Amino acid sequence: MQEYRQEIAALTMRWVRRLSREKFSMLFTLIQPMLFWLIFFGNLFQRAADVQVVQAPNYISFLTAGVVVMTVLNNGLAGGVDLLFDKENGFLERLMSTPIHRTSVILSRFLFVTTVTSLQVLVILGVAFLFGVQPATGFLGVAVILLIGMMFGVGLTAISMAMAFSVKSHGDFFSVLGFLSLPMIFLSSALVPLSAMPKLMAMLAVLNPMTWAIDAIRPLILTGWTEALRPLAIVVLIMLVFDALCLYGSAKAFRRAIG
């Protein structure tokens, strides 16, 4: 147990070090588009968006939930990238040749991605706050938002890592990534509520776990606990199933790749 903690702490520190060196810029490129969405589109579509349709005082407060979940989505789907590089340059092999628990590397990655994502979500909520978006459910609501983000993020990170272990080349990885992420966003309630979508689109959006995460977070920001409880219960169930499926699949991919 003591050994397990030592390994995971050291591996997680490595990700932090890399982030602070390699990705100083990348940290910004990750947050920036989200803030851009929030500030730019939030204000731009202020007029276009019908307050009746979005059921919110203004578009930016409607959009906040979507931007939070989009952040979780992007970070989660990119969560395996570093492992992909580790696999390709042999570093992963070096790590796995040491007497560490076979799950330590993966666990360190979950820890790291979850932490970074949560910090980014807090930044987004902070910026939204500056634009007058006050979460209706207060600090407890923010904690619940982080929790939903984590549940969704774990499954996504698992998919991403499974892909990193399975793909033959990193070109494949990035094309699948690109192929997944945009439709996930547009076929969800991130930008438009389900009720305002064309029928076919709404049907597809219902199948997207992202929609459920957004629809649970949105009332936490806009209205309050009474409206939030039902979608919260649903999203917890959906996320449990989603995570179980993703973790099962990634465990298989991992075992195939590493034995």
Partner 1 sequence: MEQSVAIDVSKLGKVYDGVTAIQDLSFQIRTGEIFALLGPNGAGKSTTLRILITLLRPTSGQATVLGHDVVRDADRVRRLIGYVPQERAIDRFLTGREHLLLLGDLYHLSKEESLRRIAELLRLVDLEDKADQPAKTYSGGMKRKLDIACGLLPNPKILFLDEPTLGLDVQSRLRIWDYVRQLRARGITVVMTTNYLDEADQLCDRLAIIDEGRIKALGSPAELKTGLGGDIVSVTVGTAAMAKVEPLAASLKGLPSIRSVSTKATGLDIRVESPEKALPAILEAANRLACPVEFIEYHRPRLDDVFVAHTGHAIREEFPESEGGA
Question: Where along the sequence are the contacts to partner 1 (CB under 8 A)?
Answer: 3, 6-7, 9-11, 13-14, 17-18, 21-22, 89-91, 93-100, 258-259
Give the shortest CB-94-to-partner 1 separation in angstroms.
4
Give the shortest CB-253-to-partner 1 separation in angstroms.
15
Give the shortest CB-106-to-partner 1 separation in angstroms.
14
Give the shortest CB-3-to-partner 1 separation in angstroms.
5
Strand ranges, E, within the chain: none
Nearer to partner 1, 89 or 169 (CB): 89
Nearer to partner 1, 91 or 225 (CB): 91
CA gap 55, 58 in Å, rounded: 8
Left (φ > 0), alpha (ψ -120 to 50) or beta: where does 138 sit? left
Helix (H, G, I), strand (E, B) or coil at 106: helix
Nearer to partner 1, 6 or 195 (CB): 6
Beta-carbon contacts of 63 under 8 Å, excluding residues fewer than 6 positions away, are 37, 38, 41, 42, 190, 191
Q: What share of the chain is helix, strand, coil (3-state, %, to 5)?
A: 85, 0, 15
Nearer to partner 1, 23 or 201 (CB): 23
Give the shortest CB-57-to-partner 1 separation in angstroms.
45
Nearer to partner 1, 147 or 258 (CB): 258
| Secondary structure string (H, E, C) spanning 213-254 | HHHHHHHHHHCCHHHHHHHHHHHHHHHHHHHHHHHHHHHHHH
Packing angle of the helix pair 170-186, 59-77 (nearest 10 deg):
160
Give the shortest CB-96-to-partner 1 separation in angstroms.
6
Nearer to partner 1, 96 or 245 (CB): 96
CB atoms near residue 64 (< 10 Å): 28
